[in-house]
Amino acid sequence: MRKKIALIGGGQIGQILAMLAAQKELGDIVILDVPDYVNVCKGKALDLMEMAPHGNYDASITATSDYKDIAGADVVIVTAGKPREAGMTREDLLNVNIKIITEVANGVKQYAPKAFCIIVTNPLDAMVYVFHKVTGFPKHQVIGMAGTLDTARWRAFIAMELGVSVADVAGTVLGGHGPDMVPLPRLTTVGGVPLTEIASPEQIDRLVTRTREAGTEIVKLFGKGSAFFSPAWSAIVIAESYLKDKRRVLPCAALCEGEYGVNGLFIGVPCLISAKGMEKIFEIKLTEEEKAQFQKTVASVTKTVSECKI
């Protein structure tokens, strides 16, 4: 029997998630959205089914506005929420998206209580916290996508800056999904060569700044809306590692219970994603400067989460 993937939200990210999941044959796909938008989602699902003969994949792709249709889902990926627009901070999204995520969490809790849940909705660090609180799911079952995306951006910008293959760039980004995130140049390599040995301090500073502002850069270019290709692929990487037990070590927003000196917050940290879900958090020994940066991002996440009043 095929696995079942529920995509909560059928907008730009949701439709790309559906296409990628189908192309990778991760399982059958159900797209869920509000009644006013569900016919559009049904059209997208049908379009993807009609693409299957040329796409060479077998998957059932449907759309619904009824949570009972996600029953038994193995993976739930949540993108539902108001997108960020130019001039809007992630914090501006907080109140409206808390209501949406609360409704989603209750629906998932009722109909897919065993699903591995990947949250994409912004402001992500707060939304994954709210989802976890409302569902009461164990920590291994709920993850925030952000760190995987932030690290992809870090690697992409390095490859672009240095004119090298992105496949040879390895690194990680810690912390919240915002301007205080913590790229780690010290632990980043290009083909095994430390980044600090082949890039100037000025280049590294520029790369760190661009990574921290990557989402805003795209929002400004779009004028309305935010990134969709890269967040979708980042969520699929996490889902695939779970569904296929690939045991990838991926930076994700995970619930820390003492790791990195953090308690009760979802923070971007390296995680082992296996068939058990978020199986383990890996702790990195940080320098004093990195610790200070990490504490700054923790403070930002703490502030945003406190505003959720949940």
Asked which of 129, 146, 163 is the last residue of a domain, the reply is 146
Asked which of 146, 164, 192 is the last residue of a domain, the reply is 146
pLDDT at site 91: 66
Considering the domain architecture, whether residues 242 and 256 belong to the same structural domain is answered as yes
Considering the domain architecture, whether residues 152 and 170 belong to the same structural domain is answered as yes
Considering the domain architecture, whether residues 38 and 174 belong to the same structural domain is answered as no
Residue 18 sits in a domain whose CATH number is 3.40.50.720
pLDDT at site 65: 98
* Nearest Cα to Cα of residue 253 among 106, 84, 78, 89: 78
The overall average pLDDT reported for the chain is: 96
With beta carbons less than 8 A apart as the criterion, state whether 269 and 279 touch. Answer: no
Cβ of 264: how many Cβ atoms within 10 Å? 12
Structural domains of the chain, count: 2
Considering the domain architecture, whether residues 111 and 243 belong to the same structural domain is answered as no
Considering the domain architecture, whether residues 139 and 155 belong to the same structural domain is answered as no
Considering the domain architecture, whether residues 275 and 235 belong to the same structural domain is answered as yes
Residue 123, preceding bond cis, omega within 30 degrees?
yes
- pLDDT category at 226 given cuts 50, 70, 90 is confident
Per residue in 271-281, pLDDT (tens digit) is 999 999 999 99
Reply yes or no on whether the pLDDT at 84 is more than 70: no
Distance CA 150, CA 227 (A): 12
Distance CA 108, CA 131 (A): 10
Reply yes or no on whether the pLDDT at 167 is more than 70: yes
Considering the domain architecture, whether residues 196 and 228 belong to the same structural domain is answered as yes
Q: Is the pTM of this model over 0.85?
A: yes
Considering the domain architecture, whether residues 15 and 152 belong to the same structural domain is answered as no
Strand, helix or coil for residue 116? strand
Considering the domain architecture, whether residues 152 and 138 belong to the same structural domain is answered as no
Alpha carbon 242 to chain centroid, angstroms: 14
Residue 254 sits in a domain whose CATH number is 3.90.110.10
Considering the domain architecture, whether residues 183 and 274 belong to the same structural domain is answered as yes
pLDDT at site 85: 65
Considering the domain architecture, whether residues 90 and 14 belong to the same structural domain is answered as yes
Asked which of 106, 127, 146 is the last residue of a domain, the reply is 146
With beta carbons less than 8 A apart as the criterion, state whether 239 and 24 touch. Answer: no
Considering the domain architecture, whether residues 247 and 104 belong to the same structural domain is answered as no
Q: Which domain holds residue 270?
A: 147-306
Catalytic residues: 177
Helices (H), 137-287: 146-162, 195-198, 201-212, 214-222, 229-243
With beta carbons less than 8 A apart as the criterion, state whether 304 and 125 touch. Answer: yes
